[in-house]
Amino acid sequence: MTDRWTDRLSDYLDDALSTSDRRELESHIRDCGDCAAALEDLRAIVASARALAARDVERGMETDLWPEIEARLRDIPVRAVPEPVREPWPVHRLSFSMAQLAAACVAVLLLSATAVWFAHDWGRRETLARSAAGGGLITAVPATSAPAEAAQNEIASLKRVLDERRDRLDPSTLRAIEESLAAVEAAVEQARLALEADPDDPYLVAHLEEMASRQLTLLRRAVDLAGGAE
Protein backbone atom coordinates (compact mmCIF):
# COMPACT_ATOMS: atom_id res chain seq x y z
CA MET A 1 0.00 0.00 0.00
CA THR A 2 1.14 3.53 -0.69
CA ASP A 3 -0.23 6.79 0.63
CA ARG A 4 0.74 10.43 0.37
CA TRP A 5 3.71 9.87 2.69
CA THR A 6 5.29 6.99 0.78
CA ASP A 7 7.06 9.26 -1.68
CA ARG A 8 8.37 11.46 1.13
CA LEU A 9 10.28 8.65 2.83
CA SER A 10 13.50 9.25 0.91
CA ASP A 11 13.39 12.94 1.77
CA TYR A 12 12.89 11.95 5.39
CA LEU A 13 15.89 9.59 5.29
CA ASP A 14 18.00 12.27 3.64
CA ASP A 15 16.98 14.85 6.21
CA ALA A 16 15.36 16.96 3.51
CA LEU A 17 11.94 17.52 5.10
CA SER A 18 10.86 20.69 6.87
CA THR A 19 10.54 20.37 10.64
CA SER A 20 6.75 20.32 10.48
CA ASP A 21 6.66 17.72 7.69
CA ARG A 22 9.17 15.60 9.55
CA ARG A 23 7.05 15.65 12.70
CA GLU A 24 3.92 14.87 10.73
CA LEU A 25 5.63 11.97 8.98
CA GLU A 26 7.00 10.62 12.23
CA SER A 27 3.57 10.61 13.76
CA HIS A 28 2.10 9.02 10.62
CA ILE A 29 4.67 6.24 10.80
CA ARG A 30 3.56 5.30 14.28
CA ASP A 31 0.15 4.37 12.88
CA CYS A 32 1.08 3.23 9.38
CA GLY A 33 2.78 -0.14 9.27
CA ASP A 34 3.32 0.05 5.51
CA CYS A 35 5.27 3.29 5.70
CA ALA A 36 7.20 2.08 8.74
CA ALA A 37 8.19 -1.10 6.93
CA ALA A 38 9.12 0.78 3.76
CA LEU A 39 11.25 3.19 5.77
CA GLU A 40 13.15 0.35 7.40
CA ASP A 41 13.81 -1.28 4.02
CA LEU A 42 14.96 1.99 2.46
CA ARG A 43 17.25 2.60 5.39
CA ALA A 44 18.86 -0.79 4.90
CA ILE A 45 19.24 -0.17 1.16
CA VAL A 46 20.93 3.19 1.72
CA ALA A 47 23.22 1.63 4.31
CA SER A 48 24.22 -1.21 2.02
CA ALA A 49 24.86 1.24 -0.83
CA ARG A 50 27.29 3.12 1.37
CA ALA A 51 29.08 -0.05 2.24
CA LEU A 52 29.73 -0.82 -1.42
CA ALA A 53 32.50 1.74 -1.78
CA ALA A 54 34.26 0.35 1.29
CA ARG A 55 33.92 -3.09 -0.22
CA ASP A 56 35.56 -1.91 -3.45
CA VAL A 57 38.59 -0.91 -1.41
CA GLU A 58 38.66 -4.24 0.44
CA ARG A 59 38.50 -6.20 -2.77
CA GLY A 60 40.96 -4.09 -4.71
CA MET A 61 41.27 -4.17 -8.47
CA GLU A 62 41.75 -7.57 -10.04
CA THR A 63 43.45 -6.35 -13.19
CA ASP A 64 46.54 -4.16 -12.95
CA LEU A 65 45.88 -1.41 -15.47
CA TRP A 66 48.98 0.56 -14.60
CA PRO A 67 51.37 -0.76 -17.30
CA GLU A 68 48.95 0.24 -20.07
CA ILE A 69 48.13 3.55 -18.46
CA GLU A 70 51.79 4.34 -17.97
CA ALA A 71 52.50 3.60 -21.63
CA ARG A 72 49.77 6.06 -22.63
CA LEU A 73 50.96 8.73 -20.20
CA ARG A 74 54.51 8.75 -21.50
CA ASP A 75 53.24 10.45 -24.64
CA ILE A 76 51.20 13.05 -22.77
CA PRO A 77 52.84 16.03 -21.13
CA VAL A 78 51.29 17.35 -17.92
CA ARG A 79 49.83 20.79 -18.54
CA ALA A 80 49.44 23.07 -15.58
CA VAL A 81 47.07 25.36 -17.48
CA PRO A 82 44.27 26.30 -15.10
CA GLU A 83 40.88 25.16 -16.32
CA PRO A 84 37.60 26.02 -14.66
CA VAL A 85 37.05 23.54 -11.84
CA ARG A 86 33.64 22.90 -10.36
CA GLU A 87 33.02 23.74 -6.75
CA PRO A 88 34.43 21.14 -4.36
CA TRP A 89 32.22 19.05 -2.12
CA PRO A 90 30.88 20.84 0.92
CA VAL A 91 33.45 20.69 3.70
CA HIS A 92 30.99 19.22 6.19
CA ARG A 93 31.16 15.94 4.32
CA LEU A 94 34.73 15.52 5.45
CA SER A 95 34.68 16.77 9.00
CA PHE A 96 33.54 14.63 11.89
CA SER A 97 33.28 14.79 15.59
CA MET A 98 35.04 11.98 17.42
CA ALA A 99 31.71 10.42 18.28
CA GLN A 100 30.59 10.52 14.68
CA LEU A 101 33.85 9.01 13.59
CA ALA A 102 33.54 6.23 16.12
CA ALA A 103 30.01 5.51 15.01
CA ALA A 104 31.00 5.68 11.38
CA CYS A 105 33.79 3.18 11.98
CA VAL A 106 31.38 0.84 13.69
CA ALA A 107 28.96 1.35 10.83
CA VAL A 108 31.51 0.75 8.10
CA LEU A 109 32.92 -2.28 9.86
CA LEU A 110 29.54 -3.86 10.22
CA LEU A 111 28.02 -2.70 7.00
CA SER A 112 30.84 -4.01 4.91
CA ALA A 113 30.02 -7.34 6.45
CA THR A 114 26.38 -6.79 5.63
CA ALA A 115 27.38 -5.94 2.11
CA VAL A 116 28.99 -9.34 1.86
CA TRP A 117 25.49 -10.64 2.23
CA PHE A 118 23.91 -8.17 -0.13
CA ALA A 119 26.67 -8.30 -2.66
CA HIS A 120 28.58 -11.47 -1.99
CA ASP A 121 30.10 -13.15 -4.94
CA TRP A 122 29.45 -16.76 -5.61
CA GLY A 123 33.07 -17.72 -5.31
CA ARG A 124 32.97 -16.70 -1.69
CA ARG A 125 29.77 -18.55 -1.22
CA GLU A 126 31.37 -21.73 -2.44
CA THR A 127 34.43 -21.21 -0.29
CA LEU A 128 32.29 -20.77 2.76
CA ALA A 129 30.14 -23.70 1.88
CA ARG A 130 33.21 -25.88 1.50
CA SER A 131 34.76 -24.75 4.73
CA ALA A 132 31.50 -25.14 6.62
CA ALA A 133 30.88 -28.57 5.20
CA GLY A 134 34.47 -29.74 5.59
CA GLY A 135 35.16 -28.24 8.97
CA GLY A 136 31.99 -29.49 10.55
CA LEU A 137 31.83 -26.33 12.61
CA ILE A 138 28.20 -25.73 12.03
CA THR A 139 25.86 -28.56 12.81
CA ALA A 140 22.60 -26.84 13.64
CA VAL A 141 20.61 -23.78 12.68
CA PRO A 142 21.88 -21.20 15.15
CA ALA A 143 18.41 -19.86 15.96
CA THR A 144 17.50 -23.14 17.58
CA SER A 145 20.75 -23.90 19.40
CA ALA A 146 21.48 -23.09 23.03
CA PRO A 147 24.33 -20.63 22.32
CA ALA A 148 22.04 -18.84 19.88
CA GLU A 149 19.39 -18.56 22.56
CA ALA A 150 21.93 -17.00 24.91
CA ALA A 151 22.91 -14.61 22.13
CA GLN A 152 19.25 -13.72 21.56
CA ASN A 153 18.89 -12.94 25.27
CA GLU A 154 21.99 -10.77 25.24
CA ILE A 155 20.77 -8.95 22.13
CA ALA A 156 17.44 -8.23 23.80
CA SER A 157 19.03 -6.93 26.98
CA LEU A 158 21.59 -4.79 25.11
CA LYS A 159 18.73 -3.30 23.11
CA ARG A 160 16.96 -2.37 26.34
CA VAL A 161 20.11 -0.75 27.73
CA LEU A 162 20.71 1.13 24.50
CA ASP A 163 17.14 2.34 24.49
CA GLU A 164 17.46 3.67 28.04
CA ARG A 165 20.62 5.55 27.11
CA ARG A 166 19.62 7.05 23.78
CA ASP A 167 19.81 10.53 25.30
CA ARG A 168 23.49 10.15 26.12
CA LEU A 169 24.40 9.82 22.47
CA ASP A 170 24.92 12.61 20.02
CA PRO A 171 21.90 12.53 17.63
CA SER A 172 24.04 11.90 14.56
CA THR A 173 25.87 9.09 16.35
CA LEU A 174 22.56 7.61 17.40
CA ARG A 175 21.32 7.80 13.86
CA ALA A 176 24.44 6.10 12.51
CA ILE A 177 24.03 3.33 15.07
CA GLU A 178 20.35 2.93 14.30
CA GLU A 179 21.07 2.74 10.59
CA SER A 180 23.72 0.11 11.13
CA LEU A 181 21.44 -1.86 13.40
CA ALA A 182 18.62 -1.69 10.89
CA ALA A 183 20.94 -2.93 8.16
CA VAL A 184 22.33 -5.80 10.18
CA GLU A 185 18.89 -6.76 11.47
CA ALA A 186 17.61 -6.80 7.92
CA ALA A 187 20.51 -9.05 6.98
CA VAL A 188 19.74 -11.39 9.87
CA GLU A 189 16.09 -11.52 8.91
CA GLN A 190 16.87 -12.15 5.25
CA ALA A 191 19.33 -14.89 6.16
CA ARG A 192 16.67 -16.47 8.35
CA LEU A 193 14.11 -16.41 5.55
CA ALA A 194 16.55 -17.85 3.07
CA LEU A 195 17.47 -20.57 5.52
CA GLU A 196 13.84 -21.49 6.12
CA ALA A 197 13.55 -22.40 2.47
CA ASP A 198 16.94 -24.04 2.20
CA PRO A 199 17.81 -25.42 5.65
CA ASP A 200 20.67 -27.56 4.40
CA ASP A 201 22.66 -24.81 2.74
CA PRO A 202 25.86 -24.58 4.82
CA TYR A 203 26.57 -21.12 3.44
CA LEU A 204 23.27 -19.81 4.73
CA VAL A 205 23.80 -21.42 8.12
CA ALA A 206 27.25 -19.89 8.41
CA HIS A 207 25.99 -16.60 7.11
CA LEU A 208 23.14 -16.33 9.56
CA GLU A 209 25.50 -17.10 12.40
CA GLU A 210 27.92 -14.48 11.16
CA MET A 211 25.22 -11.83 10.81
CA ALA A 212 23.83 -12.59 14.28
CA SER A 213 27.30 -12.25 15.72
CA ARG A 214 27.79 -8.92 13.91
CA GLN A 215 24.53 -7.74 15.37
CA LEU A 216 25.76 -8.62 18.83
CA THR A 217 29.10 -6.90 18.28
CA LEU A 218 27.39 -3.77 17.02
CA LEU A 219 25.06 -3.65 20.01
CA ARG A 220 27.91 -4.14 22.47
CA ARG A 221 29.87 -1.32 20.88
CA ALA A 222 26.85 0.92 20.76
CA VAL A 223 26.21 0.33 24.47
CA ASP A 224 29.90 1.05 25.12
CA LEU A 225 29.61 4.33 23.27
CA ALA A 226 26.56 5.18 25.36
CA GLY A 227 28.51 4.77 28.57
CA GLY A 228 29.28 1.09 29.06
CA ALA A 229 27.29 -1.82 30.42
CA GLU A 230 27.65 -0.84 34.11
Partner 1 sequence: MTPPTTLVAPVRSGAEAEDVSRAQRGDLRAFERLYRAHVARVGGLVRRMMGMEHSLDVTQDIFVRVWQKIGTFRGESAFGTWLHRVAVNVILQKRASLRTERERFLSDEIALETAPARGRTDARDFDVERAIARLPQGARTVFILHDVEGFTHEEIGVFLGVTAGTSKAQLHRARMILRDHLTR
Of residues 100-119, those binding partner 1 (CB under 8 A): 100-101, 103-104, 107-108, 115, 117-119
Task: Report CA Rg, the chain.
Answer: 22
Instruction: Using the minimum distance from each CB to Zn ion, give the nearer residue, 5 or 118.
Output: 5
Per-residue b/e over 133-145, b at no fewer than 16 CB within 10 Å? eeeeebeebbbee
What is the SS3 assignment for 189?
helix
Query: Using CB under 8 A, which residues numbered 133 to 152 contact partner 1?
Result: none
- Smallest distance, Å, CB 45 to Zn ion? 18
Does the protein bind Zn ion through residue 36 (CB under 5 A)?
A: no
- Smallest distance, Å, CB 133 to partner 1? 17
Does the protein bind Zn ion through residue 5 (CB under 5 A)?
A: yes
Does the protein bind partner 1 through residue 165 (CB under 8 A)?
A: no
Tell me which of 63, 98, 136, 163 binds partner 1, using CB under 8 A. Answer: 63
Binds 3, which of partner 1, Zn ion, none (CB < 5 to 8 A, cut-off by type)? Answer: Zn ion
DSSP for 31-87, written as a single string: H-HHHHHHHHHHHHHHHHHHHHHHHHHHH--SS--HHHHHHHHTTS---------PP
Does the protein bind partner 1 through residue 199 (CB under 8 A)?
A: no
Tell me which of 17, 25, 35, 108 binds Zn ion, using CB under 5 A. Answer: 35
Does the protein bind Zn ion through residue 32 (CB under 5 A)?
A: yes
- Count, residues near partner 1 per rule CB under 8 A: 77
Query: Using CB under 8 A, which residues numbered 16 to 35 contact partner 1?
Result: 16
178 φ, ψ (degrees, to nearest 5): -65, -40
Enumerate helices (H) and strands (E) in the chain, giving the number of each: 9, 0
Dist CA 102 CA 222 (whole Å): 10
